[in-house]
Structure 1
Amino acid sequence: MINLRKPFNKYITVIMLAVTLILAGCSSNVEYVTADNSDDAISLGLDSQDFEHAAQEALNSLLASNTLNKPGGGRYIVAIGKVVNDTTLRIDTDMLVKKIRIGMLQSGKAVITTAIAGNSKNVDDLIYDVRELRDNDEFKQDTIAGKGTLYAPDFSLTGKILQRISRTGKNKQLVEYYVQLTLTEIKSGLAYWENESTVRKLGSNKSTAW
């Protein structure tokens, strides 16, 4: 009797080996570019760890600048302006802004206004919805905020995320992301603090940065 099982098993083995080799060729390690790993391929996009790194670096710079040290004590009021995404990626800039907002609040040196912002996503609509109940008899009027109770901001935080792609040889490309932030005094229009954080990613020329 002819044994058809052996050729079939050999055929399956060849297929499994081919699939394994293909998957192995598609995988890569995810690391930051440093002097020690500059020859290693990494992913080219931005992730939550990148935002954590950029936000913490910016926050450390802001607090070290003493810009938020209010004379006589107390806290400054900061409004969140526009943070522009000028890259090929679809980035939720709120990931970056949120971490900085939390850091400023926890520092005890600033409070964040949600009554006004450069992006409507950072505005709390209930602030204004509740004020529209002033003539509604169903609500106790002394529990509704009166006119002239909102605080104008002292500073606005704005920013931009830029991207630059360059070839590095060895069939690789270097993608650099620049996270630029500015804190501007509303009254004078003067920038009291600025910072730029850089995230570098190295990968194959066949990889895409989006």
Structure 2
Amino acid sequence: MFKLPIVLCVSLLMLAGCATPTRYIDPAADDGPVTMTMDYRDFEKAATEAVDDMLASGAVSKPNGERYIMVVSRVTNDTMQRIDTDQLTKKIRVGLLRSGKVVTTTAVGLDGAEDEMSARARELRDSEEFDQSGVQRKGTLKAPDLSLSGKILQRNHTAGKEQQVEYYIQLSLTDLVTGLATWEVETPIIKRGPNDSVSW
């Protein structure tokens, strides 16, 4: 049987003992190192600023005090990273919902319904297996008033002995009756660091 030298065994044990332990991070008090890529702090910042600006602008304040119905359109990722743009739009949706001014429809979308159950539940009409008093009637789905769309851009530059990575989160809110953008914002996120840092 092959045996590891004692020195190698001791070295491996020391390395295992010195490894940084896994721990929880409080997002509200995270003072960890900044990455050149986009991380959750960047999405939190962009979403918070977007919601605050939208509410302050009055773009989501319905004159009669009712809530607008919003649909999420396409938010394009034009960066070098594999970004799921839902990480941004979900935070915006939650913020708007909590404001009491906007609800988001999941029954319609560019690539089909986000939640297909709204349509599937209506397929139960006239089924003898289901109590029809609990099946959704025709004409009860609500059409959206507003559409949220946008783009995330990335630009890399050399800044002396460092690199500068610029992210621009561009968002638009469109009134679906008129087709006019009633609110728009661009949030820049600029990072500067060593040239050997990876930004993708």
TM-score (norm: length of structure 2)? 0.82
Specify the alignment match of 2:180 in structure 1. Answer: 190
Aligned ranges 1:76-91 → 2 under 5 Å: 76-91=68-83
User: What percent of counterpart residues are identical?
Assistant: 50
Distance 1:85 1:161 in 2: 5
Gaps of 5+ in 2: 1-5, 15-31
2:131 paired with 1:128? no
1:208 Cα deviation (Å)? 2.3
Specify the alignment match of 1:75 in structure 2. Answer: 67
Distance 2:110 2:97 in 1: 19
1:197 Cα deviation (Å)? 0.7
Distance 2:187 2:108 in 1: 26
Distance 2:53 2:111 in 1: 24
CA contact (8 A) 1:82 1:119 kept: no
2:144 paired with 1:141? no
Higher relative contact order (CA 8 A, sep 6+): 1
2:200 paired with 1:201? no
1:133 Cα deviation (Å)? 1.1
Q: How many residues align?
A: 175
Gaps of 5+ in 1: 1-7, 17-28, 32-42
Deviations 1:81-139 (A, max 9, x none): 1111011000011110011001111111111111112355x711111111111121111
Distance 1:111 1:195 in 2: 20
Aligned ranges 1:11-50 → 2 under 5 Å: 30-31=33-34, 43-50=35-42
Distance 2:50 2:68 in 1: 18
1:206 Cα deviation (Å)? 2.2
TM-score (norm: length of structure 1)? 0.78
- Residue 193 of structure 1 aligns to a residue whose secondary structure is strand
Deviations 1:38-85 (A, max 9, x none): xxxxx2101111100110011111000001111121111111111110
Aligned ranges 1:151-190 → 2 under 5 Å: 151-170=142-161, 172-190=162-180
RMSD value, Cα = 2.0
